[in-house]
Structure 1
């Protein structure tokens, strides 16, 4: 695809937005390419943070760097309108793989959408936020930002995600799984493995029992649910190990199913402790990622934009067999996180193959379309006498539900 379709849209307001993006495209691509060439992992994305913040500051946004006690998070603001729209920027990479999830394209698309709208926020009665959200791959950066008030007062939040699929999917009906990650530590008693092994309590045995129990649990796990265990311990053969550590996670489509699976999986670890006489400590290693909830009104505008840009829809993707902390945002704010395929790409997310596609010409053409489409979605909502009230109503409803959950948990 090219920008030609966007620049010849019959709505002059949309062509103006597309033209504004086209004028800043090279600046956006410079940042996106630099992020790809210089990968930084969760909570260490300082250079990506600075590149994004510098671009927005140069375009007239008021930029706050290192917000919410997170040195690699930022918030850029333009306008003072009554509709508060947020564009989420991701830029963390995968260890050893680099941008195998295409976060350079995610960052570029959101930056591009922001620059496309910069000249019209006052006309649209919009306050435009661009929020730099670190540690999506591991760490739950968006949930930390939610907890620290960064998304308070936001009426809608958008980002887009590239995939190796070549189709563009109907965003309505698409979702992702909840995921939680923990570290289990078994503590036993050390001993010499030859001189006095009977005096020891083998923590590694407890880890083995837990892994066997989890393996047997799999036959009762529903389709679409996932669990994984990864032992972290080392040791030597002449010492009965005193400590054993296992990192584990589970995934499910709904929060009730997730909580049930988590309970079952933790029981496997408790079985290991009981069987061996070890003590057990389990700690969450990052915030829980909640299922993705695509907003219907935003989804309709997005689908219309994709069709106008010449990316026909191929039906709903359904469940994306992965997880994102954008799900946490979407549970609290009307949100959109569409999955869009890079033309000609293959392989799978989180691979070196897809990291290469994320730096391809087709990848950057996808960035163009996603930037323009997200800008058009915000323009649609802002100017529609029906869509704007619906989004504001939904935002108020989600905010009230969240306050109710918070009061119940307190």
Structure 2
């Protein structure tokens, strides 16, 4: 047995009560994208308490941080997520991600110098639609990092991430209000515009390649039944296998929304909620190490069947993987028949199986970092490939979400 893995595993076991308390605390206090004030503070504080140097407000994002320890030549990153879903709480289990990241990093901290590595935990806000990692990536936070990883909960253990590329858009129609009974002809019905657009999208699906996804919700449908709706709003996601395929599909979906505006006389506004999420580029050698380490802990991976499809869920970690070597495996929490983004999955995210996933994910990531440090050939390859354009403590930048208006 590797002596470093022995030390790290023992340390994670000793930290178990703190890690599970952190997971449960985040779970009990869900905060949505860009509002993870408590969760980011708690995660950063745990790392500061074991010797990490913490930089808050990373790249100008108030709930983002980078916590670093060591000064070795190989720079490894572990990503922590902690945002919750509106109305569903931690139905994607990001409390598990955050606690596992803290566990792996805390256990590695005493041995980073002996391993010759620098280790950074990135607190990454707004994965659920905001693209926090993309803003950090564009702001230079990952520059100088040679490889990155994280582990995401799901119903089952699945090794390879195969997420869709996705765009997130806010849709708004502007019409004109009028009394719906007395003067309906003087109104311009913004709700009708959404109806036309959704019918067009439904018909479009017949002509789409298998596997493409279009889905959304109307978040504002009008103010009163006796008033022609003047403003309606919604949020729409478009997903495809790659960013190139996504661009083609987005153009088709845009025309559906334009049809709603054209047929009703409304004005259409389309605003990007974030920059598009990319497909994932898995580093196979890193993933093989993770699978071996997780299997040694007793984890069993699923390679087929519908229950494993959480690995198709879009993630802004895909954008990170396009720039530097990365992995994003899934760890099971025994939730079936409940799956991610269900309230039952949120309840499962603090069960005994979920708590075990925190500990196993922490160990598997820490052990994988040790392997990366000690495998001479892989270490040399990662050191040559890593993004090195800017220092990791790059100055902050404001959010810059692209938007467009269609009249």
Q: TM-score, normalised by structure 2?
A: 0.89
Matched residue, 2:393: none
Matched residue, 1:148: 139
Does residue 270 of the first structure (1) align with residue 294 of the second (2)? no
Deviation of 1:138 (Å): 2.7
Any idea what SS the aligned residue of 1:239 has?
Answer: coil
Deviation of 1:118 (Å): 0.6
Does the Cα contact within 8 Å between 2:213 and 2:240 map onto a contact in 1? yes
Matched residue, 2:210: 223
Q: Once structures 1 and 2 are overlaid, which stretch shifts more, 41-50 or 99-108?
A: 41-50
Matched residue, 2:105: 114
Matched residue, 1:407: none
For residue 373 of structure 1, the aligned residue among 360, 364, 368 is 364
Matched residue, 1:169: 158
Any idea what SS the aligned residue of 2:88 has?
Answer: coil
Matched residue, 2:173: 186
How far apart are the structure 2 equivalents of 1:223 and 1:43? Answer: 33
For residue 231 of structure 2, the aligned residue among 243, 246, 250 is 243
Deviation of 1:91 (Å): 1.0
Does the Cα contact within 8 Å between 1:345 and 1:357 map onto a contact in 2? no
For residue 289 of structure 1, the aligned residue among 277, 280, 293 is 277
Deviation above 4 Å: which 4+ runs of structure 1? Answer: 316-319, 396-399
For residue 341 of structure 1, the aligned residue among 332, 338, 347 is 332
Matched residue, 1:259: 247
How far apart are the structure 1 equivalents of 2:138 and 2:388? Answer: 18
* Distance verdict in 2 for CA 1:292–1:105, change over 3 Å: same
Deviation of 1:398 (Å): 11
Deviation of 1:345 (Å): 4.4
How far apart are the structure 2 equivalents of 1:335 and 1:218? Answer: 33
* Distance verdict in 2 for CA 1:247–1:169, change over 3 Å: closer
How far apart are the structure 2 equivalents of 1:128 and 1:51? Answer: 19
Does the Cα contact within 8 Å between 1:85 and 1:126 map onto a contact in 2? yes
Map 1:24-63 onto structure 2 (within 5 A).
Answer: 24-63=15-54
Any idea what SS the aligned residue of 1:313 has?
Answer: coil
For residue 195 of structure 2, the aligned residue among 191, 196, 208 is 208
For residue 160 of structure 1, the aligned residue among 151, 154, 160 is 151
Any idea what SS the aligned residue of 2:114 has?
Answer: helix
How far apart are the structure 2 equivalents of 1:398 and 1:176? Answer: 27
Matched residue, 1:134: 125
Deviation of 1:236 (Å): 2.8
What are the superposed Cα offsets for residues 245-276 of structure 1, whole Å, 9 maximum, x if unpaired? 23211111211221111111000011122222
Does the Cα contact within 8 Å between 2:222 and 2:230 map onto a contact in 1? no
Deviation of 1:229 (Å): 3.2
What are the superposed Cα offsets for residues 103-145 of structure 1, whole Å, 9 maximum, x if unpaired? 1111111111101111111111111101111111131111121
What are the superposed Cα offsets for residues 265-307 of structure 1, whole Å, 9 maximum, x if unpaired? 0000111222222222211122322222221121011111122
Does the Cα contact within 8 Å between 2:191 and 2:222 map onto a contact in 1? no
Does residue 79 of the first structure (1) align with residue 70 of the second (2)? yes
Q: Which blocks of at least 5 consecutive residues in structure 1 are unaligned?
A: 1-9, 400-410
Any idea what SS the aligned residue of 1:86 has?
Answer: strand
Deviation of 1:189 (Å): 3.2
Matched residue, 1:325: 316
Any idea what SS the aligned residue of 2:299 has?
Answer: coil
Deviation of 1:221 (Å): 2.0
RMSD between aligned residues: 2.1
How far apart are the structure 2 equivalents of 1:58 and 1:227? Answer: 44
How far apart are the structure 2 equivalents of 1:360 and 1:242? Answer: 46
Any idea what SS the aligned residue of 2:158 has?
Answer: strand
Deviation of 1:170 (Å): 3.5
Any idea what SS the aligned residue of 2:60 has?
Answer: coil
Does the Cα contact within 8 Å between 1:297 and 1:391 map onto a contact in 2? no
Q: Which blocks of at least 5 consecutive residues in structure 2 are unaligned?
A: 391-407
What are the superposed Cα offsets for residues 16-66 of structure 1, whole Å, 9 maximum, x if unpaired? 221222222222222112111222222222221121111111101111223
Does residue 364 of the first structure (1) align with residue 355 of the second (2)? yes
Deviation of 1:197 (Å): 3.2
What are the superposed Cα offsets for residues 345-379 of structure 1, whole Å, 9 maximum, x if unpaired? 43111122111221011111111111111111111
How far apart are the structure 2 equivalents of 1:216 and 1:344? Answer: 35
**How many pairs were matched up?**
386
Any idea what SS the aligned residue of 2:172 has?
Answer: strand
How far apart are the structure 2 equivalents of 1:134 and 1:344? Answer: 25
